[in-house]
Structure 1
Amino acid sequence: MKKMLSSVQLDSNQRTILVLRLSSLIFFFSSFQSSHGYPSRTHIFIYAACSQEKYQPNSPFEGNLNSFLTSVVSSSSEVTYNSFAIGNGSSTTEEGTVYGLYQCRGDLHPIDCSKCVARSVNQIGLVCPYALGASFQLEGCYVRYEHSGDFLGKLDTSIRYKKCSKAVTNDVEFFRRRDDVLADLQAANGFRVSSSGLVQGFAQCLGDLSVSDCSSCLVDAVGKLKSMCGSAAAADVFLGQCYARYWASGYFDESDSSNNDEVGKSVAIIVGVFGGLAVLVVLLSICKKAAVRFSKDDWRVFWFS
């Protein structure tokens, strides 16, 4: 944190940009509304992952990262998936190149997709400050960037996040319906919604996966849902490049995730802390500039005239 604060104090433009971003975030968090409809749930935080390696402020990587994040927001108003290589093949050194992608849930309207991605972009730098690589998953969209492009199109079934609700006991009909839904989901190519009776679910692969790799990823995700969540009435499993989810009617709501949202609470705390610090830095800067404008004689005129 000391490193981040010292870089903020170096440049007034950086302070201004930080405050603007934090202001939008504070407004975003204050406008949370409880809803059971999927489009309005796109802002819900799922998980974030940050690399331990850091980049230096004002480095070529930071400039390319800002270009990537701007391109992501612009592109998301037109298509639900896109990948980028910023600085590749230019005069920028290899270490300064940024590779990344974003993807929205397949059923989102472009307007909702763009809003979701913009929220992710505004938060990723706060949750993963100066990270050379980061992943950020909201309910409705996903953003990832790295300093190496070897992750693009490469099958990754490592677990990033899981959530299992309370178990359903001795409900043969539920398990039959759930298995029907999961069997349908693992056959998806890209994004698929499925339902059977009161059980619903959906699954999605990243857009850079081949059909065969998408199938392999979803089979793995469904297998993990069954093995890790057992008889849960609702369950989510997010792997490196795909996810699968199911729920019984009435289980997919805010209360179901209340005990599994500690990271989400941390995001809100980070926003509040850095918001207060940023405002304090700007106020001190304004006071300092005001003081410089007055010489000692000027102060005498101000106080005694």
Structure 2
Amino acid sequence: MKERKMRRILQLHSTHKTNLCLKLYSFFILFTSLSNHGYFVKANIFIFSGCSQEKYTPNSPFEANLNSFLASVVSSSSQALYNSIAIGNGSSTPPEATIYGLYQCRGDLKTTDCSKCIESAVNQIGLVCPYSYGASLQLEGCCVRYEHIDFLGKLDTSVRYNKCSKSVSDDVEFFRRRDDVLADLQAAIGFKVSSSGFVEGFAQCLGDLSSADCASCLGDAVGKLKNLCGSAAAADVFLGQCSARYWASGYYDFTDSSNEDQMGKTVAIIVGALAGLAVFIVLLSFCRKAMG
């Protein structure tokens, strides 16, 4: 009688473990499905990236300083929307190990959202620019950049990325309001949002620029918006140290595709796959222990 009772208890215990493993497996399938469909990365949409041709050696002093820089970026982003960081620029560090870098979140983000965006950028930058001495990654709400040489505070108005929506037909009212918004954005210091009727926009300079350099950069950005995108109903331009955007109501989501969009989707899939693999390994280990 005792033996039958013991067998019954063991059977129930085994069934409980099996059901638990099946539930965990179902969660894993749901997790990977959501990851592949981008639900975990929609808040941090990929815009563009840039990587240096020069590569560093794994396990080198530069890699150690880069890891310190990225950790500092993540830590600092929970406290402030911008920070610049220099690591290894002292006399005791080899010149080839020096890193200058910064991060910045869009001016309308809360620090909690900024931190999440920066974490996403840091996780992606090594995938997009492996072993690079210099790299930049721009997401919808934030950016991270590091270089081997000191670029901080030095004006750079080269075009890094631009995107234009479909053109608007002869609409005098639209162009008048668009020009009002762009004129207002050109006078921004730091981050600014502007609107005129059904046209809206915002502009932002990186935090390492002086007020005069910011105004110069935004003047170039506004000029390039008009020159590169003409009569587009919505347009983006990112220069080396500032960005500007405008859109008419209903045109915020651009319809044109680009190689950068495909790169962003690829990075999202890679990140989701790696996260899914980690969950699967933990699940497999647990189930092996549970099943004895």
TM-score, normalising length: structure 2: 0.79
Indicate the residue corresponding to 1:7 in structure 2. Answer: none
Larger Rg: 2
Task: Quote the Cα distance in structure 1 between the aligned partners of 2:34 and 2:153.
Answer: 33
Task: Quote the Cα distance in structure 1 between the aligned partners of 2:205 and 2:193.
Answer: 13
Indicate the residue corresponding to 1:300 in structure 2. Answer: none
Matches within 5 A, 1:1-12: none
Q: Is the 8 A contact 2:233 2:248 kept in 1?
A: yes
Task: Quote the Cα distance in structure 1 between the aligned partners of 2:149 and 2:182.
Answer: 34
Task: Quote the Cα distance in structure 1 between the aligned partners of 2:91 and 2:130.
Answer: 26
- For residue 107 of structure 1, give the secondary structure of its aligned residue in structure 2: coil
Indicate the residue corresponding to 1:60 in structure 2. Answer: 61
Indicate the residue corresponding to 2:222 in structure 1. Answer: 222
Matches within 5 A, 1:170-249: 170-249=170-249
Letter in 1 for 2:178: R
TM-score, normalising length: structure 1: 0.76
- For residue 89 of structure 2, give the secondary structure of its aligned residue in structure 1: coil
- For residue 44 of structure 2, give the secondary structure of its aligned residue in structure 1: coil
Letter in 2 for 1:195: S
Q: Is the 8 A contact 1:42 1:138 kept in 2?
A: no
Letter in 2 for 1:140: G
Matches within 5 A, 1:1-305: 29-30=35-36, 32-33=38-39, 42-89=43-90, 91-149=92-150, 151-253=151-253, 256-260=254-258, 262-269=259-266, 272=269, 275=273
- For residue 232 of structure 2, give the secondary structure of its aligned residue in structure 1: coil
Distance apart, 1:170 and its partner CA: 1.2
Distance apart, 1:42 and its partner CA: 4.2
User: What is the RMSD of the two structures over their aligned residues, measured on CA atoms?
Assistant: 2.6
Letter in 1 for 2:79: E
In structure 2, relative to structure 1, the CA distance for the partners of 1:257 and 1:97 (3 Å cut) is farther
Letter in 2 for 1:158: S
Distance apart, 1:29 and its partner CA: 4.6
Deviation track 1:212-269 (CA, whole Å, cap 9, x = no partner) reads: 000000000000001111110000010000011000000002xx25513x22322443
Deviation track 1:175-196 (CA, whole Å, cap 9, x = no partner) reads: 0000000000000000000000
Task: Quote the Cα distance in structure 2 between the aligned partners of 1:137 and 1:273.
Answer: 17
- For residue 257 of structure 2, give the secondary structure of its aligned residue in structure 1: helix
Task: Quote the Cα distance in structure 1 between the aligned partners of 2:56 and 2:180.
Answer: 47
Letter in 2 for 1:173: E
Task: Quote the Cα distance in structure 2 between the aligned partners of 1:33 and 1:197.
Answer: 33
In structure 2, relative to structure 1, the CA distance for the partners of 1:102 and 1:265 (3 Å cut) is same
In structure 2, relative to structure 1, the CA distance for the partners of 1:94 and 1:187 (3 Å cut) is same
Gaps in structure 2 of 5+ consecutive residues: 1-31, 282-292
Task: Quote the Cα distance in structure 1 between the aligned partners of 2:263 and 2:98.
Answer: 30
Q: Is the 8 A contact 1:204 1:243 kept in 2?
A: yes
Indicate the residue corresponding to 1:294 in structure 2. Answer: none
Task: Quote the Cα distance in structure 2 between the aligned partners of 1:267 and 1:244.
Answer: 20
* Paired residue total: 249
- For residue 101 of structure 1, give the secondary structure of its aligned residue in structure 2: strand
Distance apart, 1:134 and its partner CA: 0.2
Q: Is the 8 A contact 2:124 2:267 kept in 1?
A: no
